[in-house]
A = this chain, B = another copy of it.
Amino acid sequence: VKERRTRQLRAVYATVRDAVDHPTADEVHARVRRRMAAVSLGTVYRNLQKLAAQQHVRVLRLANRAARYDAIVEPHDHFVCERCGAVADVVRGERVPAGAAIHLTRAGYRVRSQELTFYGLCPRCGADRRSTRRRQGGS
């Protein structure tokens, strides 16, 4: 007997899958709690890493402190707003620089994956520099 499909696991996955804002473990925890009572943060972390190991979610470690989770596992990039912290998915407009990868491969490196992240200001924060709230609160 192994690999159980617990209520908690399902809830954690559903939460990440339905989120559009790349929530942190804490945010996932808060959202899961709104649907079912008393799920511990530790359990959320454990399920999150289990899902990551199974490739059902991707872990994003951007400039920020806390890791963020993304249920879209297909290759794509991200944009991080340096003002409000929001993370957006970026459609890969053209193939990422094969040049560097080939360079590495020739030098004996085995490239397994790559991550491209853009930093700057999102439309809301870039528009005018006063009237923006710090975060789009994870309710």
Interface contact B93-A110, CB-CB below 8 Å = no
Cβ of A113 < 8 Å from any Cβ of B? Answer: yes
Interface of A is mostly: mixed
Closest-by-CB residue of B relative to A113 is B119
Closest-by-CB residue of B relative to A60 is B63
Closest-by-CB residue of B relative to A102 is B93
Task: Give this chain's copy count.
Answer: 2
Interface contact A104-B121, CB-CB below 8 Å = no
Would A103 and B91 be within 8 Å (CB), given that A97-B96, A114-B116, A116-B114 are in contact?
yes
A to B CB contacts below 8 Å, 26 in the list: A79-B109, A90-B103, A92-B97, A93-B97, A93-B98, A94-B98, A94-B99, A96-B96, A97-B97, A100-B116, A100-B118, A101-B118, A104-B118, A108-B126, A108-B127, A109-B120, A109-B122, A109-B126, A110-B120, A110-B121, A111-B119, A113-B119, A114-B117, A114-B118, A115-B119, A116-B116
* Closest CB pairs A-B (n = 4): A93-B99, A94-B99, A108-B123, A112-B120
